[in-house]
Amino acid sequence: MTTLTSVCPSTGEVLRTFEAHSDATVERILARAWKCAGYWREQAIGLRAALVRRVATELRRQRDPLARLVVREMGKPIAQARAEIEKCAWVCDYYAEQGPKFLAPESISTEANRSYIRFDPLGVILAIMPWNFPFWQVFRFAAGAVVAGNTVVLKHAANVSMCALEIQALWRRAGAQAGLFQVLLLENERVGRLIGDPRVAAVTLTGSERAGQAVAALAGQYVKKCVLELGGADAFIVLADADLERAATKAAEARTINSGQSCIAAKRILVEKAVAREFLSAFVRAMAALEVGDPFDEHTRVGPLARADLVSTLQRQVEESLRLGAKLELGGKPLDRPGFFYPPTILTRVRPGMPAFDEEVFGPVAPVTVVRDAEHAVQLANASRYGLGAAIWTRNRKGAEALAARLDVGVVHINDVVHSDPRLPFGGVKRSGYGRELGTYGIKEFTNIKSVVLR
């Protein structure tokens, strides 16, 4: 039987191994989810919302031990891990409060006596989730899906199985039925059969572009609803009239959040030529000041990467970009210590055709490109196969909003780092995926939007 292994990124030691679920166990889990879906859809939405609110309470009650688990299994600095758990509670509270209003029938005026739209659950939703935000990525989808009346089967990343099982236990402690939220411990190769199972109504995936292509192909083959939140190469645009010190400080934060392992991290820093030297000087200072080390230390801002292969990929991207003409300003080599550590790194003279520009850089490496003006910045920002998010830094609010309309991305933040918010829809375009999570649009993704007409 295949095993799934959890490894401590700070030391490289094996924490636990798990046997992958057998076919018989998978069948039992799907059968429970299917049976529970029939029950759960009939429950009043107020009851469904009350469960999700209890989950929020449980998250806050267990915040510190849950955060420590995240640190042990994927290496996130402890302060950020606590913030992740708090954000999960926030999205649960948000949908518990707003979900009934979002899903209320909408009356439409027609020539009929009455016509309206109702939002009915789809059934069992298969969630395929990544390791980098092992709690948030799950709750970002699940809170709304459960309030909407669906049940969830979670196939989490193999290296965060401990987090996955704790999330399952948390729902049970909050009072969820056994079939409402369940975890499958599976290898990626066995996911295809799940997507094809007639009891699975829809699929959501947060992950790599390659994983998204595979899941989308299977969902299309079986004609099933699919939401994809994939990679990103977010542009961080600094214009000549920006507050440069603040932009540089926030660029360092945006590039290194979660040790750079975030789909919406600032992955391409585009700086207007007139202020490039001044910005770079401040940016180097900000990145060099970030403390790298033990993720359990409250002062640590950059912890280890989650796996050894991520360090190797990052080093390949840096070395190949340097070979093609980029210049190293800071960092540039893995740290010589136990665990999977890579220091804050800055590359300048980065241009299209280099891995640091074209690929998703998943670690604390910041590629900097000088642009002629705002028009050039928009051209380069859109010169990517990804389209998840972007940030614009300028004192010209009206001009920034005009630029935002031209960026081919799903979310734009002006004078702030890109981040998700339960109140706003989140998702991308192009190869960053399709569909939305969060907000009123996110909760409706996994509903049957049904028209009812009475004559």
DSSP 428: -
Task: Tell me which fold the domain 234-421 belongs to.
Answer: Aldehyde Dehydrogenase; Chain A, domain 2 (3.40.309)
pLDDT digit string, tens, across residues 285-333: 999 999 999 999 999 999 999 999 999 999 999 999 999 999 999 999 9
Give, in order, the Cα–Cα distances in Å from 138 to each of 128, 163, 175, 433: 9, 10, 18, 17
For residue 18, give both structure tokens: 């798990």
In the prediction, which pLDDT does 331 show? 97
Residue closest to 226 by CA, chosen among 445, 441, 37: 445
Residue 367's pLDDT band (cuts 50, 70, 90): very high
Give pTM, 2 decimals: 0.96
CA–CA dist 371, 271 (Å, integer):
6
**198-236: per-residue pLDDT in tens?**
999 999 999 999 999 999 999 999 999 999 999 999 999
- What 3-state class would DSSP assign to 379? helix
Q: Cα-atom radius of gyration of the chain, to the nearest Å?
A: 22
Average pLDDT, the chain: 97
Where residue 395 falls among pLDDT bands split at 50, 70, 90? Answer: very high
pLDDT above 90: residue 80: yes
How far apart CA 376 and CA 96 sit, in angstroms, is 44
pLDDT of residue 216: 97
Catalytic residue IDs = 229, 263
Query: Which CATH fold topology does 3-230+432-454 show?
Result: Aldehyde Dehydrogenase; Chain A, domain 1 (3.40.605)
Tokens of 83: 């913030």
Domain ranges of the chain: 3-230+432-454, 234-421
> Distance between CA 77 and CA 418 in Å, rounded?
19
Tell me what percent of the chain is helix, strand and coil, each rounded to the nearest 5. Answer: 45, 20, 35
In whole angstroms, give the CA distance from residue 198 to residue 420. 33
Cα–chain center distance at 267? 15
